[in-house]
A and B are shown apart, each in its own frame.
Chain A
């Protein structure tokens, strides 16, 4: 039987506010346990939440970026359950009236086409703390630094049909939130994570199959792997005459499998009700318009502009607009050198290769965008040739010099374009290579083109790579042909 996979994602993006969603404590990552938890985060008797306006603005910006409807009124609800890292015994979230309504995100598919994934809604909520199970000798430690960190939960419609589509959607969300600067999107630190709802159904069937929810998947790769495993498990189960049960599962990346956490029968009744400590959030049109005007250029817009205005290929435009950091780097290189295509070649070629080799992010590149832009400019104005440019790049990468010009001077890599000087070197090479000159002379004229390479190499070597290759070629041809 042919099976169709149906996937929906709930993405939790930690918002990059300085303080928590309902308290003034810092949200910085990595501090000592419980040093960034104030009375409100600890849920002490008598404390009250105060909504962080920045979190509201960020959520609205996200809504605007996915062309979502922004309701005038949204309401915080309490989701009640007991857990040691949930200090108040409830999580403040938005159940019935979320801050962002229905919207959509476009994803690029491998065959070059694109697909729209609908977003059901996005809501604000507070994160819980962390339970620490190591080092406490049979007890559990609680770290409440993360408690109260603002989260935007982005809930998609079940519109994805493969693990690849799910990963592409997650990447698109990642790219939107990082472009907006509302989340650092750092999946390794848990700033972005997702719950994946997966079901399968016979191809052509209208109703959805029973779904399983895979909780807390925290990398693009794991999302794909978890879905692939889960789909296979469900199909196998169904083909063996079994039934999929609605349940929560956990992905174990070490074993590359999902495992059951709890079934629906054990599910909590969260007893949602409007939080009486917080007023409904009322957004006036002027506020929303103001945020709309302040929106930065988004990945899709950038991709289109890179193609239309800069003349880049669809592929190049896609790669260079994929992340905000990449796009910013590329645009600075281009601004400094003035040529989009050369800038694109260098960023996607030499730079990307070096970053890959060393496993570095573009933000950690030892060669700054300005340095690379100046380097490309020197190629464009013929100060150096392509070969020397690679040497300059390597030197900058290794920290040998502050700028391309400095390296060019220090290493004497300035391109020689003085015809007299090049002719002198050519004459010397011809004089030193009587055998090769004889061969050249004796060869059929249509074979001579290949043989000239030897002489070019010798001249370039003599110039330590600095001679202009085009000039060397042209002059050599003249001189050798004169000997024939």
Chain B
């Protein structure tokens, strides 16, 4: 049951093979049995899940089931969920019960899905390994000694381990695509503005975007159908109609023009990852696509530009955590400044504090022009690189990450951790969509192929990913951890 895709589960529910309650109970039991080791969930909500499942079964009996009715999901603990703990992986919000639902959560509820609970992440979505969580690191289901990636590490691990058939993640610099690659699942970061950010705890507002993480591109399409669209509560959501993202999944790839950015195959790329990606590209050629090399000349400025813009926005976004109205408050503050200083020093972890300090510095008087303004100029150049490339080709392909999942504790130096996101970060700066699909292994650890398209080309990306999954079986592989405990 837990190896099935969303579309298979939906078919089984429709056929009456089992009920949503049975499916939900099965998933809850797996979480209970396996997650002690994995640590992918921060909060499991069995009562709510079963109530949702019963409601879904009732709706189905009345003939009111939609394509996602009764399907269980895990929600990254960055989405506000009414009446449920919403921590952002931080001690700062360890006691925060949201009084409202994020737009994405509202839409998933309206679609009849069942929320199993809230999954682990790097604190405030800042990290690439899930080691920056106040609730402990998450383990990679493929190798307990490896990280699951981050920041949506709990989402990726839960899906890979069969604790949930799909999950919601967010991606600010690769936080959906890199953990999807590390855990051997499919993860889509939509175009900036495609999915409402309302109710997603902000990290870097001009870069944050929510997206689905699942076993297949088809499942991602089903979920994107439910969550995409303009939202009057998010001024940056784009007023643009939502197509049926499943419609073009099967379109043939004959004549598809694939570009391989030369900058994505340079120094620092793990040979096993390079091999897997080149192998995947050959599969596309066999499906009728043509391949050429392209250049994204400003790629090497992406990480520095990102680490100016994202921390600048974060330093401001995280000012509201001051110990005054909600969240962590230090004990017995002596005065207002002491309340601020100690609440924030105690509530925020090291990486969050580091980024707040970087952002505060780059925005301060005398540095603003040299850092923030310059970074915004670079951002425009990076975006232009992509737009130029998409004049030549339909999609870009490359590795989602320079290496497969690394060992827990391996990256002590923040900069080496930041370099993990070298292939994903520019995508957020440009606002374009990207998807990571399983494309092989480096030893026991999965490798992800990243496919990029121009703004609002989600249908095309899903089509390109889906055809690959029709031709390969990497996405069907399951880690031993889950096999053993079936």
Contacts and interface: CB of A to CB of B under 8 A. Distances in A.
B313 interface: yes
| Across the A-B interface, the 4 shortest Cβ-Cβ residue pairs | A89-B319, A271-B363, A276-B205, A276-B206
A51 interface: yes
8 contacts: A45-B201, A47-B198, A80-B316, A88-B319, A89-B318, A271-B315, A273-B363, A276-B205
Contacts of B233: 48, 50
A29 interface: no
Contact of B320 (A43, A48, A277, A279): A43
A273 B316 contact: yes
Contacts of A44: 80, 98-100, 326
Given A80-B316, A88-B319, A46 B232 contact: no
Interface string A25-51: 000000000000001001111111111
A269 B336 CA distance: 19
B269 to A, nearest CB: 32
Contacts of B199: 46-47
A279 B319 contact: no
Interface string A113-143: 0000000000000000000000000000010
Contact of A46 (B201, B312, B340): B201
B102 A82 contact: no
Contact of A80 (B205, B235, B363): B363
A42 B197 CA distance: 18
Contacts of A88: 319-320
Contact of B316 (A45, A46, A271): A271
B363 A39 contact: no
Nearest to A51: B235
A413 B365 CA distance: 77
B325 A49 contact: no
A380 B79 CA distance: 74
Given A80-B363, A82-B340, A84-B324, A48 B198 contact: yes
A283 B202 CA distance: 28
A47 B101 CA distance: 10
Nearest to B197: A48
B137 to A, nearest CB: 23
Given A46-B98, A50-B233, A272-B368, 16 more contacts: A39-B99, A44-B100, A44-B326, A45-B80, A45-B88, A46-B102, A48-B233, A48-B235, A78-B316, A80-B363, A87-B324, A87-B325, A269-B364, A271-B364, A273-B363, A276-B204
A43 B325 contact: yes
A271 B360 contact: yes
A43 B99 CA distance: 12
A142 B98 CA distance: 21
A44 B99 CA distance: 9
A271 B336 CA distance: 21
Interface residues of A, number: 28
A99 to B, nearest CB: 16
Contacts of A142: 324-325
Nearest to B200: A46
Contacts of A39: 99-100
B365 A277 contact: no
Interface string B285-302: 000000000000000000
Given A80-B319, A90-B316, A45 B96 contact: yes
Given A45-B88, A78-B316, A273 B368 contact: yes
A99 B439 CA distance: 52
A277 B98 contact: no
B364 to A, nearest CB: 5
B75 to A, nearest CB: 13
B250 interface: no
Nearest to B205: A276
A174 to B, nearest CB: 32
A250 interface: no
Given A39-B100, A82-B319, A277-B205, A48 B312 contact: no
B23 to A, nearest CB: 29
A344 interface: no
Contacts of A271: 315-316, 360, 363-365, 368
Nearest to A42: B325
Contacts of A43: 320, 325
B323 to A, nearest CB: 10
Interface in B247-301: none
A271 B204 CA distance: 16
Interface string B310-334: 0011011011101011100000000
Nearest to B237: A48
Interface string B196-226: 0111111011100000000000000000000
Interface residues of B, number: 43
Q: Which of B198, B233, B316, B372 has the most CB of A within 10 A?
A: B316
Nearest to B100: A39
B93 interface: yes
B338 interface: no
B234 interface: yes
A273 B372 contact: yes
Q: Which of A42, A45, A276 has the most CB of B within 10 A?
A: A45
Given A87-B325, A273-B312, A277-B205, A49 B336 contact: no
B352 to A, nearest CB: 14
Interface string B85-103: 0101000010010111010
B363 A82 contact: no
A49 B368 contact: no
A274 to B, nearest CB: 9
B98 A45 contact: yes
B236 interface: yes
Contacts of A278: 235
A359 B101 CA distance: 52
Contacts of A80: 315-316, 319, 363
A89 B365 CA distance: 18
A406 B268 CA distance: 98
B155 to A, nearest CB: 17
Contacts of B364: 269, 271
B235 A50 contact: yes
A84 B80 CA distance: 23
Nearest to B88: A45
Given A43-B325, A45-B93, A50 B232 contact: yes
Interface string A65-85: 000000000000010101010
A44 B324 CA distance: 12
Contact of B235 (A84, A87, A269, A277): A277
Contacts of A279: 235-236
A47 B325 CA distance: 15
Contacts of B360: 271
Given A80-B363, A90-B316, A271-B363, A277 B340 contact: no
A213 to B, nearest CB: 18
B281 to A, nearest CB: 36
Interface string A243-285: 0000000000000000000000000010111001111000000
Q: Which of A48, A51, A78, A272 has the most CB of B within 10 A?
A: A48
Interface string A150-179: 000000000000000000000000000000
Contact of B336 (A50, A84, A277): A84
Contacts of B312: 273
B334 to A, nearest CB: 12
A49 B197 CA distance: 11
Interface in B59-89: 79-80, 86, 88
Contacts of B368: 271-273
Contacts of A50: 232-235
Interface in A433-460: none
Nearest to B344: A82
A60 to B, nearest CB: 19
B355 to A, nearest CB: 15
Interface string B176-213: 00000000000000000000011111101110000000
A33 to B, nearest CB: 13
B202 A46 contact: yes
